[in-house]
Structure 1
């Protein structure tokens, strides 16, 4: 059996996946200098002069306060267990057990887990589904208004709302318009901006607005998905007003490690400082220009691409050529081109912030070989899931998980209550949540997804006994 250490030493290929620092090529210069020191010198505990994200004193506390001021918000916390831990703590700070939270249907699975942990009822809001791509798009202001106008009574107080901006694929929303609708109802809003960290920082090009500057109460940024930090690093920003910062601090203490890595904390600081430096807009513009040129060259060469709002995400429309994105991913990986997100109809590459010299030539060559070997008639579109209305689970997710359950074929689950999460990862968007009742349409759709994506969507589902 190959060991992890030997794999880490030997993995090759062109990295078009997360983390977006391109295997170190685009890490902040100050962090690169730290990593050139003898390994282990930076593996330190929470010494008094260092402190930690939840400590009042020390270098980390001072850095967090300085960066909050720089971004024009009130509080900042570094995270060392990814955006996941910060998203979960944020939701638990906003809602008490027995309350409800509005969640877009394309919410990340970490927030479903937070609902389970906190005894919170998720109220799901529909988002557009792109049938030619087989995945969700960005929520629209008109769609959210319709949802709010037809909001059912969940049987408990709605405490807050969550938005996703941009999506995994880089589709951006009118975040200011969405926030206006929710705040007009008095709801505090958490925005999962894990894939849009770069939107909040100085730029020479026209980018979608960041929720940080649009007035969201809480915003979570990943520092490795859309910023050039080390994997597992993230940051939470807060504007005081509707959410007590002491509640956020208490929720973070429940979920964050008591032994944060000094290297991860240094990566948080170095990455954010780098993105606030005068050199960052120059680098960002260069990478976006490279990405736009790449997409233009590939499109002219006949490589089918889907459009998006983030040029650093390249969405290859494999289904148009009769090729599953899952099969294309396996084939590309064998050829040394490693993508980020395979799906039945497309394959998404994250170009990140490193340079990719010669990529257009390599991409064209490999695509032509793949067409010659596996191309055919366009694949059938994926119909939208039957989740086009606001929906409330029958039971709290944590209650559904605690009850006795049995596993049945999907076709025999009509009318039953789900007792497990079905969530292909990546992208981590739930198709079925514990506590939801499975009607005939949902079962038929899941059966179809199982046929196209058997490794990710099971043919058997755990339901309440």
Structure 2
């Protein structure tokens, strides 16, 4: 029996901190897509506690939908042109896990892009699959992952005719879109289904297919997973899974969704998804048209910057880049690291970026962004550009400012074009299958002593969540150097342990 009451209390409770932040002038150039804006008809909701219920009579059951939720998801399928659509309360992660499990039997092979999100690799581990990798080329000049080409898929399926599912990410975190229609046609010709992680493309189906590329479902993909919260006005953790296929069984998808989704789904999240889809069905085309016009104007102004390179649609046609999503503002400063730029935007201008690396900053936009937000970003970047101009004119300080710009490993270097043999020259060598490493015996060793050993778990920079090391892949001097560089930049390196002195890094390896 406790002799006294112990209250665990952080210095500033989370809710208080959130309220203080919401009242500040900090502006979000990051997800979620609602951008913390209250807009009648889409983000105005009652007190969440007043509508937080369980599966009571009259409100159906997400895992056995027969009434109001069934009708709601059928309506969503009609909006997107899917055979079936399912609301996801555990984000795109549970949709990816369920999609792969439904399409590939345990022990089989799956063809997948090596720049996939860690959730796809977790599906590989959980189902004891053997991955066959597709390696996107590097986009010239920018050194970020390009797209996957149908010819790559064709070669891989000819070499591995037993593969029955292909998994690609489009658009990528940076907005790169692959030739999904070409990949789908290739996969179907070989009797394989195409699963597309379109977590960052929930807005694309509502564009005109011109300025914004078409969505994967429109391009004949079999299963498409979208995070509504990333680019549309829906609460964090909301996503949707679409099926449009002659190959895959909807019952199997439902079976695995019941495994990977919470058995107590939030009706608040479900209502947010329904509201979002309904709004997009009624007003999405108009919103996207206005949004596209505003983005064009902003991009034209940012194109005048002299000391920033902006990723633009001109990259299309090279390195498998079939299309580009302009909603992602990917900026490469030539006078400081990307992490330093993100810090300056945060501290001096109160603008919060989605992510940063050694070379670039990624700013996410949506149609919920305000004119004030766009104007503040424009003014901040133009002012920074002018400051660099002044330094150059005075020949002061640039040498120091440019130091430390060597790009850390944050997933992009995975995507240098390999030779035909896909050997270990450009990629970590697979020493054992991912599930074998995951379930095998392991031990922690100092990072510098891990060379030549197999990683036990994913080592990932988050965001974007693309593993630099997969379970079972060989840890080399290159990976060790990149891990330490990313860590020194202050990036979140998952899969690495810090000792108390904050200097020694440890990694788990297979024994």
TM-score, scaled relative to structure 2 = 0.81
Q: CA deviation at 1:135?
A: 3.1
Q: Which has the higher contact order (CA 8 A, sep 6+)?
A: 1
Give 1:83 deviation, angstroms: 0.7
Shift of 1:202: 5.0
Is 100-109 or 193-202 further displaced after alignment?
A: 193-202
Instruction: Note the alpha carbon deviations across 1:407-460, whole angstroms, 9 max, x for none.
Output: 34555444422212111010001111002234xxx5324413522444445554
Deviation at 1:176, TM superposition (A): 0.6
Q: Tell me by how many angstroms 1:282 deviates.
A: 1.8
- 2:131 pairs with one of 122, 129, 144: 122
Q: Would the aligned equivalents of 1:175 and 1:209 in 2 still touch at CA under 8 Å?
A: no
Q: Which runs of 5+ in 2 are unaligned?
A: 1-10, 313-323, 392-396, 424-428, 497-504
Contact 1:393 1:435 in 2 (8 A): yes
CA-to-aligned-CA distance 1:312-363 (integer Å, 9 cap, x gap): 1111112x22x11112222221120100011110001012222232222233
Please tell me whether residue 314 in structure 1 is matched to residue 314 in structure 2: no
Aligned residues: 451
Within 2, Cα distance between the matches of 1:8 and 1:131? Answer: 41
Is 2:507 the counterpart of 1:461?
A: yes
Name the stretch that deviates more: 63-72 or 344-353.
63-72
- Once residues 51 and 443 of structure 1 are traced to their aligned partners in structure 2, the CA distance between those partners, rounded to angstroms, is 55
Q: Does 1:102 align with 2:111?
A: yes
Instruction: Find the counterpart in structure 2 of residue 30 from structure 1.
Output: 41
Does 2:226 match 1:224?
no
Say which of 178, 182, 190 aligns to 2:187.
182
Say if 2:308 is the partner of 1:293.
no
Structure 1 CA distance for aligned equivalents of residues 245 and 406 of structure 2: 48
User: What runs of 5+ residues in structure 1 fail to find an aligned partner?
Assistant: none
For the 8 Å contact 1:287–1:355, the answer to whether it is kept is no
- 8 Å CA contact 2:306, 2:385 repeated in 1: no
**Deviation of 1:243 (Å):** 1.2
Rounded to whole Å, the distance in 2 between the matches of 1:326 and 1:115 is 32
Aligned CA distance change for structure 1 residues 367 and 206 (closer, same or farther; 3 Å) = closer
Q: Is 1:200 equivalent to 2:205 in the alignment? A: yes
1:10 aligned partner: 20
Deviation at 1:15, TM superposition (A): 1.0
For residue 171 of structure 1, report the CA deviation from its aligned partner. Answer: 1.1
The one-character-per-residue Cα deviations of 1:248-294 (angstroms, maximum 9, x if unpaired) are 111000111111111110111111111111x3222112222212211
Residues 1:390 and 1:264: Cα distance change in structure 2 (over 3 Å):
farther
Q: What residue is the counterpart of 2:402 in the other structure?
A: 376
CA positional deviation for 1:188 = 1.0
Moved more, 387-396 or 252-261: 387-396
Superposed displacement of residue 148, structure 1: 4.5
Mapped to 1, the partners of 2:185 and 2:480 lie a distance apart of 35
Q: Indicate the SS of the match to 1:103.
A: strand
Compute the displacement of 1:396 (Å).
3.0
Q: Cα distance 1:285–1:375, how it changes in 2: closer, same or farther (>3 A)?
A: farther
In the aligned structure 1, how far is the partner of 2:455 from the partner of 2:305? Answer: 47
| CA distance in structure 1 between the aligned counterparts of 2:103 and 2:92, rounded to whole angstroms | 17
Conserved? CA contact 1:197–1:226, under 8 Å: yes
In the alignment, what sits opposite 2:354? 340
Report the counterpart of residue 239 of structure 1 in structure 2. Answer: 244
- Structure 2 Cα separation of the partners of residues 381 and 226 of structure 1: 27
Closer/same/farther in 2, CA of residues 69 and 362 from structure 1, 3 Å limit: same
- The match for 1:364 is 382
Partner Cα separation in structure 2 for residue 71 and residue 84 of structure 1: 20
Question: 1:328 is matched with which residue?
Answer: 341
Closer/same/farther in 2, CA of residues 326 and 381 from structure 1, 3 Å limit: closer
